[in-house]
């Protein structure tokens, strides 16, 4: 059963060489979690920072875990984040196809070549599919490991089902990782993993090695949970006589000091974060710093655009230590990005959230956005912050008492009684005219500005905390509604 070597020579001839080539190879199993997004980002940054090629490959050999629409989620996430790929299923390339299930015949040929080279063997033992995938078995007790060529031929001729297993040699294996350095393991601790399953599909551990080589991948970025598999990958590369790519194993993203982030435990995917009101740019910036730090002149810099990340990125900045996903830190980044947007751009993204609670068209969404922008951390916070515009909420008379502003019920009533006629007398209802009238009134009453503004704002909004001050709120509400609300406040204080 000699394998046709001409096929492999042709495959070698197709491999692009001479520049950095990286790949992001997600499984379409439902959503893009934060760790996946970070892997995609680092992989993209390595390629872009070194003038290389970035490849998108879909690893769908685990057919039982595939989720409808998951590939669309991958494409959409990558596009929204600006992580454009040079080669992939949708754009093609010199080493197509880029979907593993479409490369099925290739894996079978390489598995049989490995048998011929003496680094793999046919196993006819009865195993469950889960055992096939995990490779958990005692190889010393596996009778198939030492079958003669004649015995193998006989069983194949009988049509017996089989898997192909890697033959782990004696001794030890040393591999090098760009982050963790050189690591040596005793081969006795490695199992004869399944390379090709009974259905003819490869296991992940085999397919990714074959594809990475045939696609000319120079740098392989993956989670540190794959460090334990790296010796077996190394042995496969060596068995075929191939160059080993640069391994870049990234430590996990943790929910806390003890637990990895997990969808099962309610930790968010990229799409969840978008739904929760976070900007893509803020998420991407924050994720970049989950386990990587800039160096040199940019060592203290936190805010990076994607193009700035390309210039600053260096693999040596990736940390060995796990990174903890900190919501408060992400909120900070999101607020920075929201506040740095052009006012018209912020108004555009904020309007749908404003209109969730401010349905009356007489209230200008752009004017509301203008007072919101400096006081907003997440877009989803907006509806609750501005719901008082449509309807004055029920509120407590105690809101009028504020020690810092030197107000209580009695002082507040006096302030409102003085403010209403001044505001009624205004011919123009603008931010400037309202501001000037109230400041002048405070001077006339010989009180701090805050002593007057606090009760005006409370009466106008019915909330202790508002996105804008008294002047901005009154201007947006309009003259009639402002006077009506301030009179209602007076009535409450008189009761």
Q: What is the pLDDT of residues 374-408, one digit of tens each?
A: 999 999 999 999 999 999 999 999 999 999 999 99
For residues 270 and 137, which has the higher predicted lDDT (pLDDT)?
270
* Residue 132 predicted with pLDDT over 70: no
Helix, strand, coil share (%) of the chain residues, nearest 5: 55, 10, 35
The residue-averaged pLDDT of 100-105 equals 91
* Residue 122 predicted with pLDDT over 90: yes
> What is residue 28's predicted lDDT score, i.e. its pLDDT?
87
The whole-model pTM stands at 0.90
> What is residue 142's predicted lDDT score, i.e. its pLDDT?
76
Told to judge if 479 belongs to the known catalytic residues of this protein, a careful annotator would answer: no
Confidence of residue 261 (pLDDT cuts 50, 70, 90): confident
Residue with tokens 């400096």: 374
The tokens for 210 are 């074959």
Q: What is the mean pLDDT of the chain?
A: 93
The residue-averaged pLDDT of 428-446 equals 98
Alpha-carbon 265 to chain mean position: 16
Most confident region among 56-70, 139-153, 165-179 by mean pLDDT = 165-179
* Residue 38 predicted with pLDDT over 70: yes
Confidence of residue 1 (pLDDT cuts 50, 70, 90): low
Torsion sign across C-alpha atoms 290, 34, 325, 339: positive
Catalytic residue among 14, 19, 263, 311: 263
> What is residue 137's predicted lDDT score, i.e. its pLDDT?
46
The residue-averaged pLDDT of 239-245 equals 97
Angle at 333 between CA 329 and CA 336, to 5 degrees: 140
> What is residue 141's predicted lDDT score, i.e. its pLDDT?
62
Over pLDDT 70: what percentage of the chain?
Answer: 96
CA nearest 173: which of 189, 154, 195, 193? 189
Residue with tokens 């490869």: 202
Q: What is the pLDDT of residues 19-32, one digit of tens each?
A: 999 999 998 877 78
By the 8 A CB rule, do 122 and 162 touch? yes
Longest dimension (CA), the chain: 108
């Amino acid at each position: 059963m000699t394998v046709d070597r001409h096929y492999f020579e042709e495959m070698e001839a197709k491999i692009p060489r001479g520049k950095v080539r990286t790949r992001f190879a997600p499984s379409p199993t439902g959503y893009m979690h934060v760790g996946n997004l970070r892997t995609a980002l680092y992989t993209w940054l390595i390629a872009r920072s070194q003038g290389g090629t970035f490849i998108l490959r879909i690893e769908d050999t685990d057919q039982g875990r595939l989720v409808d629409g998951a590939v669309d989620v991958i494409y959409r996430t990558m596009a929204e984040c600006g992580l454009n790929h040079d080669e992939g299923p949708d754009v093609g390339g010199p080493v197509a196809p880029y979907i593993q299930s479409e490369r099925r015949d290739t894996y079978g040929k390489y598995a049989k070549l490995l048998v011929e080279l003496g680094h793999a063997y046919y196993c006819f033992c009865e195993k469950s599919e889960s055992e096939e995938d995990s490779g958990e078995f005692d190889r010393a007790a596996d009778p198939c490991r030492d079958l003669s060529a004649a015995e193998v031929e006989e069983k194949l001729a009988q049509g017996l089902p089989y898997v192909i297993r890697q033959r782990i040699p004696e001794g030890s294996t040393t591999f090098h990782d760009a982050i963790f350095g050189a690591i040596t393991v005793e081969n006795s601790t490695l199992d004869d993993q399944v390379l090709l399953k009974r259905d003819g599909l490869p296991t992940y551990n085999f397919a990714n090695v074959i594809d990475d080589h045939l696609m000319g991948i120079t740098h392989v970025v993956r989670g540190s949970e794959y460090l334990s598999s790296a010796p077996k990958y190394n042995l496969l590369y060596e068995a075929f006589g191939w160059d080993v790519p640069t391994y870049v194993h990234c430590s996990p993203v943790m929910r806390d000091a003890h637990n990895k982030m997990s969808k099962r435990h309610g930790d968010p995917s990229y799409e969840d974060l978008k739904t929760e009101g976070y900007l893509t740019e803020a998420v991407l910036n924050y994720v970049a710093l989950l386990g990587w730090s800039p160096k040199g002149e940019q060592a203290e810099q936190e805010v990076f655009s994607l193009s700035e990340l390309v210039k600053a990125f260096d693999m040596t900045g990736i940390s060995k230590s796990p990174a903890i996903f900190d919501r408060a830190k992400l909120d900070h980044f999101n607020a920075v990005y929201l506040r740095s947007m052009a006012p018209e751009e912020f108004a555009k993204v904020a309007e749908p959230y404003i209109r969730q609670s401010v349905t009356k068209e007489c209230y200008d969404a752009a004017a509301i956005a203008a007072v919101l922008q400096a006081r907003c951390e997440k877009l989803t916070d907006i509806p609750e912050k501005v719901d008082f515009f449509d309807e004055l909420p029920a509120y407590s008379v105690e809101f009028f008492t504020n020690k810092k502003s030197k107000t209580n019920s009695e002082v507040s009533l006096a302030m409102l009684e003085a403010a209403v006629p001044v505001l009624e007398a205004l011919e123009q209802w603008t931010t400037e005219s309202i501001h000037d009238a109230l400041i002048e009134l405070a001077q006339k009453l010989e009180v701090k500005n805050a002593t007057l503004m606090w009760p005006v704002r409370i009466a106008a909004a019915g909330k202790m905390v508002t996105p804008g001050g008294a002047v901005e709120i009154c201007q947006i509400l309009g003259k009639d509604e402002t006077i009506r609300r301030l009179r209602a406040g007076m009535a409450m204080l008189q009761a």
